[in-house]
Amino acid sequence: MKHLLDIKSLSNEEIMTLLDTAEAIAATQARTIKTLPVLRGHTLATVFFEDSTRTRLSFETAAERLSMDVISFSAKGSSVSKGESLKDTAQTLVSMGSEALIVRHNASGAPRRLATAGWVDVPILNAGDGTHAHPSQALLDAFTIRRHFIDDPLGKDLQGINVAIVGDILHSRVARSDVSLLNRLGANVTLVAPPTLLPMGIETWPCAVSFDFDEVLATQPDVVMMLRIQHERMNSGGFFPSAKEYQRAYGLDAKRLKSAGEQALVMHPGPMNRGLEITAEAADSPQAVVTEQVTNGVSIRMAALYLLLAHGEEISA
């Protein structure tokens, strides 16, 4: 593995190594947070052209727990406003000593361009590009599901786990990466959305599609993953159905959660629109693992950095 760009670029072996390495790292963090010395003296840059709370801070926390130094770049307030290109921005950060770039960009394909254009020669980790991919989110989602449903999870896949992914699939890079990864791991995925929030060509994705949330909940899925309505990616006319109609047909509330059954884990990649795709009652219920997803994200990102940069050095607490 030279970069982390999307799920389809990973082999099955690389996926299992990422999940199992995250499991080993999580074990070192279980009681007290421990900084591991494996990447001391190495430097990472987070390069964000779009806003983020979880992904950026999670990668920065992961780097710090591996003893790395972090350079933090945001397009907002930078020389991007003066017209500086992605190439010149990346070369500037590498010239300051960055040995890996964590890139979030509004343009689908920007991280791949950086990885393949020959502008810089460091690992590129995609932290979310347009509507294309968010591989570290998918890995932390799979890791969270595996930890909940599979005893002794090392080396195990998600064969037979039923996952419903609900909401704004059209604009969701998380949905694309999750469908790709969960399918590769043997889970059965059903996407649930109104037709207006599904992308063209959805019939070619390796999953089922439903317009009826209540019908899917009645099948008692193992996981109900709610997605954010991405207002910022809608055109100026807003979205159809209206927020009220959407909430009524596709919002997860306490009644719907009860119909899904006690086995159902409630997941959300964040940030949540409380009161739209999910009520506070559902988001804060004992079945919700939203904060656990965030915790697991640090282990997954530590694993990705370790595998890309540590070149076989032992993980030791």
- 3-state class of 189 per DSSP? strand
Of 20-28, 48-56, 87-95, 278-286, which segment contacts ligand CP by CB under 6 A? 48-56
Q: How many chain residues bind ligand CP (CB under 6 A)?
A: 9
Of 50-58, 68-76, 144-152, 192-200, which segment contacts ligand CP by CB under 6 A? 50-58
CB of 118: closest distance to ligand CP in angstroms?
28
Q: Say how many C-beta atoms besides its own lie within 10 A of residue 169's C-beta.
A: 24
Looking at residue 288, what DSSP letter applies?
B
x/- track of binding to ligand CP for residues 77-116 (CB under 6 A):
----------------------------------------
Looking at residue 315, what DSSP letter applies?
P
CB of 128: closest distance to ligand CP in angstroms?
6
Beta-bridge partners for 210: 192
Identify the residue among 109, 130, 241, 270 touching ligand CP (CB under 6 A): 270
User: How far is CA 171 from each of CA 111, 129, 168, 200, 272, rounded to the nearest angstrom?
Assistant: 18, 11, 6, 11, 15
Identify the residue among 11, 12, 35, 53 touching ligand CP (CB under 6 A): 53
Separation between Cα atoms, residue 272 and residue 290, nearest integer Å: 10
228 is in an annotated binding site: yes
CB of 297: closest distance to ligand CP in angstroms?
8
Strands 69-74 and 43-48 come out as: parallel
CB of 226: closest distance to ligand CP in angstroms?
12
Identify the residue among 98, 137, 177, 279 touching ligand CP (CB under 6 A): 137
228 binds ligand CP per the rule CB under 6 A: no
Which residues contact residue 194 at a Cβ distance below 8 angstroms, ignoring those fewer than 6 apart? 211, 240, 241, 246, 249, 250
